[in-house]
Amino acid sequence: MAEVLKLEQIKKSYNLGTAVETEVLHGIDLSMQSGDFLALMGPSGSGKSTLLNIIGLLDRPTSGRLLINAQDTGRLGDAALTRLRGETIGFIFQYHYLISAFTAHENVMMPMLVDRGHPDAEMAKRADVLLERVGLSRWRNNNAMNMSGGQQQRVAIARALAMNPDLVLADEPTGNLDTKSANAVFELMREINRERGTTFLLVTHNDDLAKRCDRIVQVVDGSLAT
Amino acid sequence: MNRWLPFEWIAAVRFLLEGLLQTLVILGGIAIGVGVIVFMSAMLAGLQANFIKRVLTSQPQIQLIPLDQVARPLRNAKGTIEAPIVQRPTQRVLSIDQWQKIRDEMQARPDVVTVAPTASGSGLALRGDANRAITLTGMEPENYFNIVRVPDYIVAGDAQVTSEGILVGTELANNLGASLGDKINVTTAQGGNRILTITGIFDLGNKGANQRSTFVTLRTAQSLLGLIGGVTTLDLTVTDIYAAENIARDIQASHPVEADSWIKTNAQFFTAVQAQQNSNTLIRAFVGLSVAFGIAAVLIVSVIQRSKDIGILRAMGTKREQILRVFLIQGGILGFLGSLVGSVLGAGALILWHSVARQVDGSELFPLIIESQLFVYSAALATLTGVIAAIAPALRAARLDPVVAIRG
Ligand SMILES: Nc1ncnc2c1ncn2[C@@H]1O[C@H](COP(=O)(O)OP(=O)(O)OP(=O)(O)O)[C@@H](O)[C@H]1O
Ligand SMILES: [Mg+2]
């Protein structure tokens, strides 16, 4: 099994070099194999989102090594990181799910459109297949904002899968949903993980959901307590 | 989604459509600004064209006249003392030296359109007890009327002038109590005396001119003014009226004549036009600036409102340059659409104003000159202004830290 993600002594400090310098992550080591479904838990402010943003190449660690598909990301420039991110990582966020200027279908197409520059029939078809998979074909042409939170989050899952990423990062994807919708969204991710072998890293405060993951990692005060 | 549009255009159009109210408000602002510029420019161009037309249909663009005569004090032999006071000689009516040769050379110039020799001087028109001082202009109608459109101003009779005929102004006809077909006696200080028949009466729209100007054939004037075979001026029109002054200088440098361009003789008019153009440019610049600030303000607000969208787009792999272009394109679209609406507004206002604003005599205040060039020009300029105004907001959007944007 391939190692999709490897963290070595990842540290993150804010306000570096000032009087209020604070280290939020104190040397995180973590490894994920292809097909893993991992829950990241921990109290509020412990550094889960910070860690996720670093893994997702949105933020850089202060020190330590981050390898994605065995590629060291430390020496990549901004443009290369953006490219790697688009090709290998899918995001699902807690609140701001979709881009409101576009329909559900267009939102799912968006990562492919951004990557290839022009819309084409193939990406439109793929977006339809993904919408079908998350059970929202009927909502295809709905504006993103005219859907329930659960539906929007399912569209966001379809969008995260658009580029067929190796790793999907989900920061509290069910945190804003009622129990029933949360359950449905979680199950969907779990099914996709089983069907396609997509690797998921999921931040959650929900113990029930966490228990249904392959592995739980606890973050306490910026360190891992497995 | 349109197949042919790239991502940046799709996103730009969608963002503008989603914030439709904002878009419409700023479009209104741009349209008013562009409309003002279009209206003002077209009206000024019209007024200017009107004035130039009036100037150019009643006077030559370059006039060649004999050089001033200078007194040359006599020097006898060595040691003779020169006269201490040299009086300026009186300027007699003189013919241009070798005027046929100069005329032919003028006609050969590619920048000269028409050359009309005239013999003019002052005279006295007598009829019964009445007499009036007149300016006698002898000319060849086939050339001269291309320069001064006397036929356009004829109110009675026609502009056909024979060797025994004369064209007079309305005012002179009144003063002499003469009408079409009447005979008047014309005498000159050179001893010329002739009875001429009024074959046409004109109205040049200027009382002084109507009182003094008269037109006869070149031959008649030559004999009346004692200038057999000679002419006093060569009147020219040129291809590019604004080059008249340079052409005049060129002619003067290479020929023994004094060349006066209409630009020199109407210096005041040009100062006025220049002043008008300066203020026009200033107004345009300020309108353009306020349009630019308007676009920039709206786009900055839009960037702030859309920071989460931008963050998500960046997270899914959108490059900074792509985000930059999305906002630059929005600025360009706003400028372009605004200028289209503004051009229609400006042209509409112009047509309305043209139909309402009249001169005292009921004729149009300015000719309606709506050049498509003006619209193309203002659309291009407005689009460019929009793109430039969008630079700051677009940079801000492109530099947005996705982590901050998503944490929101
Ligand atoms: N830009 C920043 N500057 C300074 N401190 C920051 C910054 N971003 C995050 N922090 C701090 O880092 C710590 C970790 O924040 P983070 O958002 O990663 O926590 P979290 O585990 O995701 O919490 P939650 O469960 O509430 O989402 C917090 O103490 C936070 O105040
Ligand atoms: Mg968090």
- The pLDDT tens digits for B111-135 are 888 899 999 889 999 888 888 899 9
Mean pLDDT of A187-211: 93
Mean pLDDT of A191-197: 92
Q: How many CB atoms lie within 10 A of CB A141?
A: 9
Mean pLDDT of B192-201: 90
Concatenated DSSP letters for B215-265? EEEHHHHHHHTT-TT--SEEEEEES-GGGHHHHHHHHHHHSSEEEEEHHHH
Q: Report the pLDDT value the prediction gives residue B98, as an integer from 0 to 100.
A: 86
Q: Report the pLDDT value the prediction gives residue B265, as an integer from 0 to 100.
A: 82
Concatenated DSSP letters for B102-143? HHHHHHH-TTEEEEEEEEEEEEEEEETTEEEEEEEEEE-HHH
Q: For residue B65, tell me if it sits in a domain.
A: no
- Tell me phi and psi for residue B28, to 5 degrees: -60, -45
Output the six-digit token pair for B56.
């150019």
Per residue in B5-34, pLDDT (tens digit) is: 899 999 999 999 999 999 999 999 999 999
Which chain B residue lies closest to A80 (C-alpha atoms)? B319
Mean pLDDT of B141-158: 86
Mean pLDDT of B362-387: 84
Residue A157 has pLDDT above 80, yes or no: yes
At residue B333 the predicted structure's pLDDT band, cuts being 50, 70 and 90, is very high
Please tell me the residue having the least CA distance from ligand 1 atom 2.
A14
3-class DSSP state of B393: helix
Please tell me the residue having the least CA distance from ligand 1 atom 25.
A44
Q: Report the pLDDT value the prediction gives residue B151, as an integer from 0 to 100.
A: 87
Concatenated DSSP letters for A185-212? HHHHHHHHHHHH--EEEEE-S-HHHHHT
Across the A:B interface, residue pairs with CB atoms under 8 Å apart total: 85
Containing structural domain, residue B238: 99-256
| Boundary residue ending a domain (B213, B228, B256) | B256
Q: For residue B262, tell me if it sits in a domain.
A: no
Output the six-digit token pair for A113.
């459109």
DSSP code of residue B88: P
Q: Do both B125 and B29 map to the same domain?
A: no
- pTM assigned to the model: 0.76
Residue A79 has pLDDT above 80, yes or no: yes
Q: Do both B251 and B303 map to the same domain?
A: no
At residue B80 the predicted structure's pLDDT band, cuts being 50, 70 and 90, is low
Interface contact A126, partner B, CB < 8 A: no
At residue B153 the predicted structure's pLDDT band, cuts being 50, 70 and 90, is confident
Express as a percent the part of chain A with pLDDT over 90.
78
Ligand 1 centroid–CA A45 distance in Å is 5
| Boundary residue ending a domain (B226, B256, B286) | B256
Among the partner-chain residues A56, A83, A95, the one whose CB lies closest to the CB of B315 is A56
Residue B59 has pLDDT above 90, yes or no: no
Q: Report the pLDDT value the prediction gives residue B322, as an integer from 0 to 100.
A: 96
Mean pLDDT of B270-297: 88
Beta strands at A71-72 and A63-68: parallel, antiparallel or unpaired: antiparallel
Q: Please report, for residues A4, B95, B202, B274, the alpha-carbon distance to residue B269 in angstroms, rounded to integers and kept in the order given.
A: 81, 30, 25, 9
Whats the size of chain A, residue-wise? 226
Q: For residue B36, tell me if it sits in a domain.
A: yes
Q: For residue B311, tell me if it sits in a domain.
A: yes
User: How many Å apart are CA B95 and CA B92, to the nearest integer?
Assistant: 9
User: How many Å apart are CA B306 and CA B312, to the nearest integer?
Assistant: 10
Q: What total number of domains does chain B contain? A: 2
Q: Do both B201 and B338 map to the same domain?
A: no
Q: Do both B147 and B29 map to the same domain?
A: no
At residue B81 the predicted structure's pLDDT band, cuts being 50, 70 and 90, is low
Using a 6 Å cutoff on CB, does residue A47 contact ligand 1? yes
User: How many Å apart are CA B292 and CA B388, to the nearest integer?
Assistant: 8
User: How many Å apart are CA B31 and CA B344, to the nearest integer?
Assistant: 9
Mean pLDDT of B347-364: 80
Q: Do both B274 and B249 map to the same domain?
A: no
Which residue ranges make up each domain of chain A?
36-46+78-224
- Among residues A45, A89, A43, the alpha carbon closest in space to that of A66 is found at A89
Using a 6 Å cutoff on CB, does residue A45 contact ligand 1? yes
> Looking at domain A36-46+78-224, which of 1.10.3720.10, 1.10.10.10, 3.40.50.300, 3.40.50.2000 is its CATH number?
3.40.50.300
At residue B353 the predicted structure's pLDDT band, cuts being 50, 70 and 90, is confident
Residues in B closer than 8 angstroms to A163, CB to CB, are 316-317
Q: Which of residues 5-64 of A touch B (CB under 8 A)?
A: 49, 53, 56, 58-59
Residue A1 has pLDDT above 80, yes or no: no
Q: Do both B230 and B286 map to the same domain?
A: no
Residue A97 has pLDDT above 80, yes or no: no
Per residue in A113-145, pLDDT (tens digit) is: 999 999 999 999 999 999 999 899 999 999 888
Using a 6 Å cutoff on CB, does residue A48 contact ligand 1? yes
Q: Which of A118-122, B331-335, B375-379 has the lowest mean pLDDT?
A: B375-379
| Boundary residue ending a domain (B231, B256, B281) | B256
Q: For residue B69, tell me if it sits in a domain.
A: no
Q: For residue B67, tell me if it sits in a domain.
A: no
Residue A226 has pLDDT above 70, yes or no: no
Q: For residue B71, tell me if it sits in a domain.
A: no
Residues in B closer than 8 angstroms to A100, CB to CB, are 18, 309
Min Cα distance A4 → chain B (Å) is 18
Q: Which of residues 6-65 of B touch A (CB under 8 A)?
A: 6-7, 10-11, 14-15, 17-18
Give the sheet arrangement for strand A37-41, strand by strand.
Answer: A89-92, A167-171, A199-203, A37-41, A215-220, A223-224
* B85 or B167, which is more confident: B167
**CA of B403, closest atom in ligand 1:** 1
Q: For residue B165, tell me if it sits in a domain.
A: yes
Residues in B closer than 8 angstroms to A124, CB to CB, are 1
- Phi-psi map region of A50: left, alpha, beta (phi>0 left; psi -120 to 50 alpha): alpha
3-class DSSP state of A147: coil
Q: Are B106 and B112 in contact (CB under 8 A)?
A: yes
Residue B365 has pLDDT above 80, yes or no: no
Using a 6 Å cutoff on CB, does residue A24 contact ligand 1? yes
Average pLDDT score over chain B: 87
Q: How many CB atoms lie within 10 A of CB B260?
A: 19
Q: Report the pLDDT value the prediction gives residue B83, as an integer from 0 to 100.
A: 65
